[in-house]
Amino acid sequence: MGRVVLITGGTSGIGLALAEAFEADGAEVVVCGRSQAALDRFAQAHPRALAVRADVTAPDARAALLDAVSERFGRLDVLVNNAGTFVERDFTGDDAATGELDAEVDLNLTAPIHLTGEVLQRWPALGAVVFVTSGFALVSPTRAPTYGAVKAGLHGFADGLRRQLAPRGTHVLEVLPPTTDTPMNTGTTGPKLSPAEVAAVTLRALRGRRPMALPGQTRLMPTMLRIAPQSLGRMVSRL
């Protein structure tokens, strides 16, 4: 049996592309999501995989998800924290600027931290933890400042966790995609990277045990932050 990989939000977009890439690489794949229809479509297209309905913001659902992984495979080797949402918020006069803020923070930040802790309690020798953050974790988008904030929080968690788990040999990888051609970005104009390319860069980074995977335009961001942060800020201000 190949390595066992759990991908949250694995039925569409980057999560689906990752599921397909891991499967092609010989892994046993588990995906979770909240839409039963999407899970059914995934299961039909990928009969080898395990598709579990789970809201990762709910503690009981996370426990049931990990129980399902244990019952089917007996172990977990790679956790991919991918599930998330993008919410535009205007703080210049919108009375509803903070509407459903707790739900956004919970899905994008709190839930992956909880799930990571719960996975490590069950499988202390986990091979790798992957966090799909965003290029916006480094420079926050003008139209969605809270999205930048939660992704920056997840970026910080991944950074500290990497050092904490290094003595165990657990690889912590952060993936920072640019704007990608996913359902979340349907209404977004401008260039978009394909989910398949994000997945390919992710698997290469895992094989190389690199700390970060920087697909597409994001590969330039760390350098620009050092040498031209104002220029990068102006670029992001248009997004």
Residue 153 clears pLDDT 90, i.e. is over it: yes
Residue pair 133/83 in contact by the 8 Å Cβ criterion: no
Domain boundaries, the chain: 4-237
114 is catalytic: no
Q: Does the 4-237 domain belong in CATH 3.40.50.720?
A: yes
- Rounded to two decimals, the pTM is 0.90
Identify the pLDDT of residue 133. Answer: 95
pLDDT in tens, 32-59: 999 999 999 999 999 999 999 999 999 9
Q: In a 3-state reduction of DSSP, which class is residue 80?
A: strand
- Cβ(53)–Cβ(73) below 8 Å: no
Do 82 and 18 meet the contact criterion of CB atoms below 8 Å apart? yes
- Least reliable range by pLDDT among 42-46, 103-107, 215-219: 215-219
Q: What was the pLDDT predicted at 228?
A: 47
Residue in the block written with tokens 């480094």:
138
Residues 167-209 have pLDDT tens digits of 999 999 999 998 766 666 555 655 668 999 999 999 999 999 9
Burial class (CB in 10 A: 0-12, 13-18, 19+), 37: exposed
Please choose, from the candidates 111, 108, 131, the residue with its C-alpha nearest in 3D space to the C-alpha of residue 57.
111
- pLDDT recorded at residue 127: 98
**Given the residues 42, 131, 136, 147, the one annotated as active site:** 147
Q: Which of 34, 56, 60 is nearest to 106 (CA)?
A: 56
CB 80 within 8 A of CB 6: yes
